[in-house]
Structure 1
Amino acid sequence: MTPLERNLAAYGEYHQDRRNVATHLVGIPMIFLAVVVLLSRPVWDVGLPLTPAMLLALGAGLFYVRLDLRFGAVMALLLALCCGAGLELSARDTAIWLGWGAGLFLTGWVIQFIGHAFEGRKPAFLDDLRSLLVGPLFVVAELAFLLGLRREVQAAIRH
């Protein structure tokens, strides 16, 4: 197995119930965006705006690209879009920025824990913090599989 396949298979072990997977398809993107929004302040002007979220996105993007170039490119694009949204919201009134960030974060986690109630198993991140990065990749992979893409990865992780 490749490192991508090992990470997705390990994460998938905690997500066998289709209802749990469905909640993750909603909750994880909400949390993913929320973290970026919340880390979009402060904004440092270094010729271009720079935020803690952008620095985190750079590191996460490198993690994803090292696992798999194609999935990594999708994840990097999603990170860039989230950083753009975060930058836009960070320019708004504090209540708007914080309301969106905290609201998405809390709602996303509630949805996640509902999914794990269906699963009857604790979230993967309680055993391995790396799964906090693998979760968003899992969502992208599941969507790719639903579209009939990356069947070789799907076959390798579902043996």
Structure 2
Amino acid sequence: MNATAQRPVDRWFASYSGDHQNDTNQLIHVFAVPTILWTVVALLWCIPVFGTWIKSGAWAALAMFAAWMYYYKLSRPLGFGMLAIFIAMAWLTRWLEALLGLQNLLYLAIAVFVLAWIAQFIGHKIEGKKPSFLTDLTYLLIGPVWVLSKFYRKMGWKY
């Protein structure tokens, strides 16, 4: 880690990047990590909320809000970016629920979750390093915002 990595977000990214040096693995992550994030949202979306007027999505909304608070604390610009992503994912999930039904949304989310994780493990096999979350579960939260930070850097945006 270099001397300029003082903020917690920079320390997390420096450590996470150390496990993701291979270009192919990074490319796999750019697609698989957001996909896995969506599948988690969709899986939580499918958990019923018994005894209320809320039919679906409440658990996903709570989880997205909690994750957003974490991201906002790490970095306001990245937090706002993740907020936009969560809103888009909630909209997509609601649309898919209306199109497919809740049960088929669940099946779709499970299938995509499994395929995206297979891709992730292939990427780490290519990399020759184990996934970061095996050393600290916090990296499951860092992965999506790390991918977003790559986009911010490409756009020349500060985070």
TM-score (norm 1): 0.86
State which of 11, 19, 22 in structure 2 corresponds to 1:6: 11
Whether 2:32 is the aligned partner of 1:22: answer no
Whole-Å separation in 2 of the counterparts to 1:17 and 1:90: 36
Give the whole-Å Cα distance in 1 for the aligned partners of 2:139 and 2:132: 6
What is the RMSD computed on CA atoms of the aligned residues? 1.9
Residue type at the aligned position of 1:137: V
Residue 152 of structure 2 corresponds to residue 147 of structure 1: no
1:103 aligns with 2:111: yes
Q: Contact (CA 8 Å) 1:38, 1:86: kept in 2 or not?
A: no
1:43-82 pair list within 5 angstroms: 44-45=52-53, 50-82=57-89
Distance 1:97 1:34 in 2: 10
Runs of 4+ in 1 over 4 A off after TM superposition: none
- Among 111, 115, 119, the residue aligned to 2:123: 115
Could you tell me which amino acid in structure 1 is paired with residue 62 of structure 2? L
My pick for the range that moved more, 141-150 or 104-113, is 141-150
Structure 2 distance, partners of 1:8, 1:99, is 33
CA distance in 1, matches of 2:12, 2:45: 28
Q: What's the CA shift for 1:18?
A: 1.4
Aligned partner letter, 2:69: L
Please, which runs of 5 or more residues in structure 2 have no aligned partner? 1-5
Give the residue type in structure 1 aligned to 2:82.
Answer: M
Q: Following the alignment from structure 2 to structure 1, what is the Cα–Cα distance between the partners of residues 86 and 35?
A: 13
- Name the CA distance, whole Å, in 2 between partners of 1:96 and 1:118: 33
Task: Give the C-alpha shift of residue 94 in structure 1.
Answer: 4.1
Counterpart Cα distance in 1 of 2:75 and 2:124: 27
Residue 50 to residue 142, structure 1, CA distance change in 2 (3 Å): same
In 2, Cα distance between equivalents of 1:61 and 1:132? 14
Q: CA deviation at 1:89?
A: 3.0
In structure 1, the gaps of 5 or more residues are 154-159
Output the TM-score relative to the length of structure 2.
Answer: 0.86
Number of aligned residue pairs: 150
1:55-74 residue CA offsets vs partner (Å, 9 max, x unmatched): 00010000000000001100
Percent of matched pairs sharing the same residue: 31
Q: For 2:57 and 2:111, locate their aligned partners in 1 and report how far apart those are by CA, in whole Å.
A: 24
